[in-house]
């Protein structure tokens, strides 16, 4: 037998107000130190030798989906874009050096492993400005999030400055030949 529960209007209104208050408080907490965060993020980008035209894009690139951020966009799409660009870049650079598709895939996988990207990100100081919420296995989680953040930064450079700037960034910082 199917049971239906009907919410009383007073209960429904209270639930919606509570949701609204929780959403607003999360948004407030995430922007509480936004000026300090923006300055730190800009310093890291400056240290890397480039700047993006949109400071929101810089913040988005270092904001992981686990961060309690209210309404701020996360770096998921930028990370995907950056990963695709990195794979294409490495494939282009190794095209004439390898003999088979299997070898090319292995080379891409080895060159762009999470450990390597995390190590590069840490050496650049990305871990200082990365916005994420660690879980219980923080050691392994941090490396993965660092790698995704590095991919997102590449994606942000590609999105903002184009293919040429992204190639220069990758050649200078990540995939040195």
DSSP code at position 171: I
Domain for residue 94, yes or no? Answer: yes
User: In the beta sheet, which residues pair with residue 131?
Assistant: 63
Domain for residue 109, yes or no? Answer: yes
Domain for residue 11, yes or no? Answer: no
- Is the per-residue pLDDT at 152 higher than 90? yes
Print the domain residue range for 38.
Answer: 33-174
**pLDDT tens profile 154-169:** 999 999 989 999 999 8
Count of structural domains within the chain: 1
More confident residue, 35 or 123: 123
Residue 138, pLDDT score = 54
**pLDDT tens profile 16-35:** 443 433 333 344 344 445 66
The contacts of residue 133 (CB under 8 Å, 6+ apart) are: 64, 66, 67, 68
Give the CATH number, domain containing residue 78.
1.10.1520.10
Helix spans in the chain (H): 9-31, 34-47, 55-61, 76-94, 101-111, 114-124, 126-129, 138-161, 163-169
**pLDDT tens profile 49-64:** 777 788 788 888 888 8
Percentage with pLDDT > 70 across the chain: 74
Residue 25, pLDDT score = 34
- Identify the band that residue 2 occupies on the pLDDT scale cut at 50, 70 and 90: low
Residue 142, pLDDT score = 83
Q: Taking a C-beta distance cutoff of 8 angstroms, is the pair 156, 74 a contact?
A: no
Q: Taking a C-beta distance cutoff of 8 angstroms, is the pair 148, 79 a contact?
A: yes
Residue 63, pLDDT score = 85
| Largest CA-CA distance found in the chain, in angstroms, rounded | 70
Domain for residue 74, yes or no? Answer: yes
User: In the beta sheet, which residues pair with residue 63?
Assistant: 131
- Is the per-residue pLDDT at 77 higher than 90? yes
User: What is the spatial distance between Cα 56 and Cα 54, in angstroms, rounded to a whole number?
Assistant: 5
* Phi, psi (deg, nearest 5) at residue 52: -95, 150
Residue 19, pLDDT score = 41
Nearest 5 degrees, angle CA 66-CA 115-CA 174? 100
């Amino acid at each position: 037998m199917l049971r239906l529960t009907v919410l009383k209007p007073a209960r429904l209104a209270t639930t919606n107000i509570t949701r609204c208050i929780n959403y607003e408080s999360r948004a407030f907490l995430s922007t509480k130190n936004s000026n300090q965060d923006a300055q730190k993020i800009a310093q890291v980008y400056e240290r890397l030798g480039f700047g993006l035209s949109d400071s929101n894009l810089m913040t988005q690139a270092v904001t992981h989906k686990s961060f309690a951020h209210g309404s701020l966009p996360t770096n998921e799409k930028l990370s995907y874009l950056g990963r695709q660009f990195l794979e294409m870049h490495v494939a282009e650079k190794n095209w004439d050096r390898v003999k088979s598709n299997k070898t090319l895939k292995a080379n891409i996988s080895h060159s762009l492993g999470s450990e390597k990207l995390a190590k590069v990100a840490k050496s650049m100081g990305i871990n200082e400005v990365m916005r994420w919420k660690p879980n219980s296995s923080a050691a392994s989680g941090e490396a993965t999030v660092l790698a995704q953040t590095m991919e997102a930064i590449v994606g942000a450079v590609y999105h903002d400055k184009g293919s040429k700037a992204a190639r220069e960034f990758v050649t200078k910082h990540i995939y040195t030949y």
